[in-house]
Amino acid sequence: ASLAASEPQSEGIPFGKPTREKYFQFQPGFLNFNHGGFGATPGLVREAQSGFVDQQEAQPTAWFASGGYQKILSDVRPRLAEMMNANSSDVVFLDDASSGLNAVLRSLPWQPQDVMLLTSAAYAVLPNTGKWLQKRYGIQILQAEVHESAEAILEPVERALLELPQPCKLRLAVFDHVSSYPPAILPVARLARMVKARCAETLVLLDGAHALGQVPIDMKQMAEAGVDAYVTDGHKWLMAPKGSGALWASRSIQDILEPAIISSDNAPSTKFQDRFDYIGTRDYTSWCAMGAALDFREMLGGEEKIQGYTSQLAGWAGSMMASAFGTETVVPLTMTPSMFAVRLPIPSAWPTDAQQRCAGVIAGGLIEKYSMQVISFSVHQTSGNVTHWIRVSSQIYLEQQDFRALTHAVLTLRQSCKSRVGEGLGPEVVV
């Protein structure tokens, strides 16, 4: 299960194209600027997972019922907890952050008219689950609007908290550690303190889907600030296999938390970690291979080297692309993780539908003509205007030349919009 013995000669391989070609299995010519979406698992980690599958199939009963995979998890858990600066007894494994969010949200003792606070930047699983809770329990959803500026998130959250009547019925507040749209590192410790100052009994849950492996996580510091639970993905920035993640929970709420699946081993007296560690006969090898992902990262130089490279590359690329486009990135460099959003060079004077079609031409053309994957999204501003952006991820398998090629491709596709749209701006304009 350890990669160190099988790949001892890794120090001489630079990040960028050499790392991409040696360790990843991308289609030739494909550039993945959407690592934040679904990650990319190195071949060595996949091989380690395959070894665990072999163990599982060699003696299935020993693997599932006699402590086979649990012994491996007992080695992985403290290493994962150390990376999160957490006590290993407070960490459980998940399939992904979504399953952890559901576990927390659906375990709480909701009462009619209880309130859940979200931000407008929340990932869709949160408002979707919130609507289910509304229908099931009659709760209320309070949303703080932060679409236009993640940098200014404190003000709308504070405003939303001040609108709450007393006695406070806010049962749960949920914030992103690193938001998806727009991508930004949020001041989660300050947000947690703000919530607790207004409603001391409110629980604070952090969605760290994009955090593990992209930014440092300090659960001891966050717990001191008032965070009660934290979920994260392994398949994204940690580069573990799909179907891996983790939940940290403060000891004060561990007794009430149940996994999304209540298994045959989950009796009322079952302990916190045991409830989550067995959720039926299914594939646990993704959890086991999180240790191989940690081995891989150590082999490449560790977190400081990896996160330093990806964050610096993202900062440089965001500034370079915004300058080339004559636009801007969505947040300042201090809030930029290893992914960024840059506004597309589409004139705001164009008709709205023409702008939308041009954004589609660019996003579709990048993958169809250039084999480059980004994520495109729109921002609806309070003024009524709509702006169009792409979210771009940095990673150790990318380098500056890749981002220059992406910039050239976007500008070329934008010119095709211009030649097909024209600058006349009349009602006959067509993309």
pLDDT at 339 (0 to 100): 96
Is the backbone peptide bond immediately before 127 cis, with ω within 30 degrees of 0? no
pLDDT at 151 (0 to 100): 60
User: Phi-psi category of 16—alpha, beta or left, where left has phi over 0 and alpha has psi -120 to 50?
Assistant: left
pLDDT at 214 (0 to 100): 97
Average pLDDT over residues 323-338: 92
Whether the per-residue pLDDT at 305 is higher than 80: the answer is yes
* Beta-carbon contacts of residue 295 (< 8 Å; ≥ 6 apart): 1, 2, 3, 4, 48
Indicate the pLDDT class of residue 186, thresholds 50, 70 and 90.
very high
The span from the CA of 406 to the CA of 392, in Å, is: 10
The two structure tokens encoding residue 136: 């099931």
pTM: 0.93
pLDDT at 147 (0 to 100): 57
The span from the CA of 325 to the CA of 109, in Å, is: 50
Whether the per-residue pLDDT at 118 is higher than 60: the answer is yes
Average pLDDT over residues 79-97: 98
User: Phi-psi category of 388—alpha, beta or left, where left has phi over 0 and alpha has psi -120 to 50?
Assistant: beta
pLDDT tens, position by position, 289-304: 999 999 999 999 999 9
**What letter would DSSP give residue 120?**
T
pLDDT tens, position by position, 136-172: 999 999 999 875 555 678 999 999 999 998 899 999 9
The span from the CA of 148 to the CA of 389, in Å, is: 12
pLDDT at 426 (0 to 100): 39
- Give the helix/strand (H/E) hosting 249: strand 245-249
Query: In Å, what is the CA distance from 130 to each residue of 135, 147, 171, 174, 262?
Result: 9, 19, 12, 11, 21
Whether the per-residue pLDDT at 430 is higher than 50: the answer is no
Helix, strand or coil, per DSSP, at residue 390: strand
Indicate the pLDDT class of residue 380, thresholds 50, 70 and 90.
confident
The span from the CA of 426 to the CA of 431, in Å, is: 12
pLDDT tens, position by position, 30-44: 999 999 999 999 999
Alpha carbon 129 to its chain centroid, in Å, reads 17
pLDDT at 383 (0 to 100): 67
pLDDT at 397 (0 to 100): 98
